[in-house]
Structure 1
Amino acid sequence: MTDEEKTDPESVDADVDTDHDEIAGVLAVRRTVQSTAGELIGREFDAVSEITPTDDGWRAIVEVVERRAVPDTQDIVGRYEIELDENATVHGYRRLDRYRRGDTAQFE
């Protein structure tokens, strides 16, 4: 780690204004997505990679295992977008793309 990557705990501003309602909303969306994504998509849930607010509610990006392989770096993972309203009720989903778990080139 470089010196720039280190954070001195004493230098962190603890008085930062935090919107606790938005944090609670994100956590509610995460719980909903974690508990329903696998069943909704019909595949094994792997991870939530993004949650963002939208004008109509929330947008979550999840990853599901579409095909297991040996070694697991060859698993086929699908990335899906799930749309939720402001109450974290699912309104739809769509697959964005697929990739091999070991392929990191598209994320670098």
Structure 2
Amino acid sequence: MKIALAGAGAFGVKHLEGLARIDGVQVVSLVGRELAKTQAVAARFGIPHVATDLDASLALKELDAVILCTPTQMHAAQAIACLKAGKHVQVEIPLADSLADAEAVVKLQR
């Protein structure tokens, strides 16, 4: 399974450490707000693609799924973008910062 991870901060790094131990899983893209910091984290974990915009990762044909380790207020919009791109998505809790946004994600994933 080829994964993109959005969020190169502490939670993202914890996910990357865990993903590195799972056979058959390859993180192929890392998305972060600060390019230099994101590049450094990607180099540490051998991630070939770095972006500051989730859409750049979603455009990768080989991508199967996305893990969102971004700020809560970004979760719903990013989850919806992933689903619309045909990708599986795991969202770090909470799913959204409002019931309406959470319901929009659930409605789309059905």
**TM-score, normalised relative to structure 2:** 0.22
Kindly indicate which of the two structures has a greater share of residues assigned to helix. Answer: 2
**TM-score, normalised relative to structure 1:** 0.22
Kindly indicate which of the two structures has a greater share of residues assigned to strand. Answer: 1
